[in-house]
Structure 1
Amino acid sequence: MTQHLFLNDLKHIFDFIIDPFPLCPRLRIVLVESIPEGLEFNSSTTHPSIFQAWINLMAEARSSVDIASFYWTLTNKDTHTEEPTADQGETILKTLAELSGKLSVRIAVNTPQMRQPQDDLRLLNDSGADIRTVNMRALTSGVLHTKFWVVDKKHIYIGSANMDWRSLTQVKELGAVVYNCSCLAADLGKIFEAYWFLGESQSVPSPWPSSFATLYNKDTPLQLPLNNTPSSVYLSSSPPSFCAAGRTPDLQSVLSVMEDAQSFIYIAVMNYLPTMEFSHPKRYWADIDTQLRRVGYEKRVKVRLLISCWASTQPVMFPFLKSLASVYDAKSKLDIQVRLFVVPASPKQKEIPFARVNHNKYMVTDKVAYIGTSNWSGDYFVNTAGSALVVNQTASQTSEPTVQSQLKDVFERDWNSDYSTPLTQHSNLKDLC
């Protein structure tokens, strides 16, 4: 009897060791999207809106809201428009202003240029928010392009949407919200604290103080039960000079995700250029392009790129994309394909500045979901501040749909939609965008 009880106790101990994640139904990850007004898909793939996600996060807030941002244009006044669909942005601004008088609201934002609207930031500052501008031009010759929230040090949002009413109703966006995960929020909080520190610094520390260091990266990811599914998770950051000890630079994250893919790599980004897009003199930058060609050739991985086509598309992007798309030969099993995604616009919608575009910044493979904040040209990885969430849920079988499978469904919905057009050697920018 005593021996049986002893063995039974050992079984309970052993069960705990092999199942380190007791059910955590509150630890959730949710994909969120902004689908522009009038854009309709013949698909069952839908996700909650980014607007609703931000409203939910503010409703959950009890002590703090930290936001890393590029710029703020949440109202019609900011964009000199009279557009009814600005109402969601105006609701976000009003709600955040109300919160600013009740709890800690901190905003790290790229130092605004002279012509950029600043009314939203003034309102939030007057309402009680603490705001620091990060002079990226002086620090790295880049910009603060990051877009994330950290709420109560336990909920996060990260994705492509700017603090802009158009990002909620007139631009196609994608992000992720993670609820009730203090360890991941603390790690993203370290990236925010780096921006906060740089808001009052004339230079980038080298090395960074140990308080900014992380244990979690591509080699030692955080182990979490996201949606009751064992998950390996980490956050990457750019530029490399902003990465404290242990942090994976964003470029290394992108290259690593590609390297680990076994069967497919699907990429949806607004811009794709193997150049330093904003450098003078012009500079070629082939890190990502070379990796895609290499894995496409050496591993025969299926590569799909869904690139945005709109009024601001640079003509120079086309020859590079056509070159990449030429790495296709069914007999040799070389399979790199490129499509262009166009968000249609009515005459009235065309009047909205810098809208009606697919602004997504993600990659999904047979193993990983990568959700970022950067366009894909060299500047965004070398001197511009961005960040990404990397999730791998393929270690075990699960009845729950994984983030990777959900993101794959989003990509395939868009790729196969009427808004997507194959890029051929004869494709013409003027005819498509």
Structure 2
Amino acid sequence: MNVQQEKTTLLGTQSVEFSGQHRCLCNRTVKLCVIPLILIALAVGCGLALNYYLPRHQPAHHVPSHKCTDFCTLTLVETIPQNLTFGQNETIHVPTGQSLLDLINIAEHTIEIASYYWTLRGIDLSYHDDTSKEGERLFDALMNAGQNRNIKLKIVQNVPSKDYNDNDTALLASQGKAEVRTINFTRLIGSGIIHTKMWLIDRKHFYVGSANLDWRSLTQVKELGVIVRNCSCLATDMGKIFDVYWQLAVNDATIPKQWNPQLSTFINDANPEFVQYNNTKGTLYLSSSPPQLCPPGRTTDIDSILSVIKNAKYFVSVAVMDYFPTTLYSYPRKYWAIIDDALRDAAFNRHVSVRVLASYWNHTAPDMLYFLRSLQSINMHIPVGKRNKTLHVNVEVKIFEVPVYTESQRKIPYARVNHNKYMVTDKHAYIGTSNWSGDYFISTGGIGFILNQTNINKTSDNLRLQLHNVFERDWYSIYSHPLDNYITV
């Protein structure tokens, strides 16, 4: 049961003992066997109850084997901001822009995109910046796919605003034959936005990660995501998440009391899909938020994060732009320490090493630094038993800051930041689209990609290991600084 749902009290049954003097005898006068009939009735009743409650978590009909027959390809993709450099021997993964362009070029039938906003063409600035060319190239490829290749384009976006207009999608709709829908979270659930960053190609390939449909996400903002190719089993499941958005992105839509069974999934935290990919293997599933948009069987994004933390045995490494054990965009703000408590529990009670790499830029709320200092404050030695033995509770926090090197970079709004949203442990790789504050899991649309590779092929093909190496690269880079450098009091 996920943490956003109410607990359901199940009725218990009282056991009954039978002795030889209380046997139910059926003789020629056809005496009724009362107690067996009661037991049968209870069994039927329990079966009906399970059939009623089970679909909220796992559909009651036949569960398949959860073994994907595709030979999938999983690739980490990154945007490294202009002029940001790492050591000569450090690995830099495939650029986000090139990877998305490749997806457009291999599309045969459909391109489906769920996004917060669109500014691929750089016309949001009053002047031209040369680094917007990457976004313009991507936009032109989408236009060409719709105009000249007969590719069906379907786009779900957030409600446009003054800051985030719909100029790009309007042009794609009018000239690129795209069908564009807007999803209004405020009307559907009272607040929130769609913050998802997902591309789905032919229900066969997809991207999910931190990169918005923004030219800055291709050249000026540090991003990380994953490209999954030739993997219909997972892409079909991703399609169900897109279909939820698509169904709700019409003016008269309401969240159904009972979802269409075709939107339910068998692939979740309890039953991940076994996937062969690259030259290795692992188990995978996709999570979603908020809970209101999760049909039966879908693990919520917050539950997937808590599960990954709970199952870590040795370490949890988190890289996220914003980290708040509160709500951030709802007023009055409320304390929401679900993830913070899970990390403290892992460090203090299970002796798991916890590291958090947060981001700092000119839009960072100052109180984030104090919440991070509170988390780091349990980095201490505690007494263990007698004879003055102690145990180290290991919690470390660093701040990653993307430098501004030129005046042209300084002029660009909403740029020069580490926008990553991932976590890696000794067992799992988690790549998401949400920052870590309460709003993102209560009322914001987002997706999580969860890969389990426990002691499986510790080679360069292992994506969990690749993600771990990205974290290590960033953690020990010249761009990561002690938290205390940012706190003056």
TM-score under structure 1 normalisation? 0.91
Equivalent position to 2:395, from 317, 325, 336: 336
The aligned counterpart of 1:131 is: 180
- Alpha-carbon contact 1:21-1:230 (below 8 Å) kept: no
- What SS does the corresponding residue of 1:77 show, helix, strand or coil? coil
Shift in Å, 1:117: 2.7
Within 2, Cα distance between the matches of 1:44 and 1:398?
Answer: 18
Q: 8 Å contact 2:316–2:352 — kept in the other structure?
A: yes
Counterpart for residue 187 of structure 1:
237
Cα distance change on mapping 1:21 and 1:186 into 2, 3 Å:
closer
Q: Tell me how far 1:230 sits from its aligned partner.
A: 2.0
**2:165 corresponds to which residue?**
117
The corresponding residue for 2:370 is: 319
Shift of 1:197: 0.4
| Residue number in structure 2 paired with 1:14 | none
Contact 1:73/1:79, CA 8 A, preserved across alignment: no
Q: Work out whether 1:281 is the aligned partner of 2:359.
A: no
Question: In structure 2, which of residues 281, 284, 290 is the aligned counterpart of residue 239 of structure 1?
Answer: 290
Detail structure 1 runs of 4+ shifted over 6 Å in the superposition.
none
Higher Cα radius of gyration: 2
Once the two structures are superposed, what CA deviation does each residue of 1:80-121 show, in whole Å capped at 9, x if it has no partner?
331100000000001101112221110000111144232211
Alpha-carbon distance in 2 for matches of 1:414, 1:312: 21
Alpha-carbon distance in 2 for matches of 1:341, 1:429: 18
Distance 1:109 1:237 in 2: 16
- 8 Å contact kept, 1:315–1:429: no
Deviation at 1:21, TM superposition (A): 7.9
Distance in 2 separating the partners of 1:272 and 1:399: 31
Identity of aligned residues (%): 45
> Aligned equivalents of 2:102 and 2:162: distance in 1?
33
Among candidates 78, 83, 95, match of residue 38 of structure 1: 83
1:81, 1:352 within 8 Å by CA — same for their partners in 2?
Answer: no
* Residue 226 of structure 1, aligned match among 258, 269, 277: 277
Report what 1:11 is aligned to: none
The alpha-carbon deviation at position 294 of structure 1 amounts to: 0.5
SS of 2:391's partner is coil
Deviation of residue 399 (structure 1)? 4.2
Change (3 A) 1:398 1:294: closer
Alignment gaps of 5+ in structure 2: 1-66, 382-389
Q: Over residues 348-380 of structure 1, what are the superposed CA-to-partner deviations in whole Å (9 max), with x where a residue is unaligned?
A: 211100000000000000000000000000000
Q: Decide which of 145, 151, 154 is 1:103's aligned counterpart.
A: 151
Give aligned pairs, total: 408
Give the whole-Å Cα distance in 1 for the aligned partners of 2:206 and 2:473. 26
Task: Report the CA distance between 1:316 and its aligned residue.
Answer: 1.2
Query: SS in structure 2 opposite 1:79?
Result: coil
Change (3 A) 1:280 1:21: closer
Distance in 2 of aligned mates of 1:399 and 1:383:
39
- Which ranges of structure 1 fall in alignment gaps of 5 or more residues? 1-19
Q: Which amino acid aligns with 1:249?
A: T
Match of 1:406 among 445, 449, 466: 466
Q: CA RMSD in A?
A: 1.6
Correspondence for 1:73 among 113, 116, 119? 119
Q: Give, in whole Å, the separation in 2 of the partners of 1:202 and 1:21.
A: 34
Equivalent residue, structure 2, for 1:152: 202
* Pair 1:28 & 2:73 matched: yes
Q: Which residue of 2 aligns with 1:7?
A: none
What is the match of residue 300 of structure 1? 351
Structure 2 counterpart of 1:99, which letter?
Answer: A
1:176-221 superposed Cα distances (whole Å, 9 cap, x missing partner): 0010000100000000000000101432112322111000000000
SS of structure 1 residue aligned to 2:473: helix
Would the aligned equivalents of 1:318 and 1:429 in 2 still touch at CA under 8 Å?
no
Q: CA deviation at 1:146?
A: 0.3
> 2:476 corresponds to which residue?
416
**Structure 1 segment 197-276 matched on structure 2, within 5 A:** 197-200=247-250, 201-276=252-327
Worse overlay, 274-283 or 390-399 = 390-399
Q: What TM-score, normalized to structure 2?
A: 0.81
Distance (Å, rounded) in 1 between the aligned partners of 2:266 and 2:459: 30
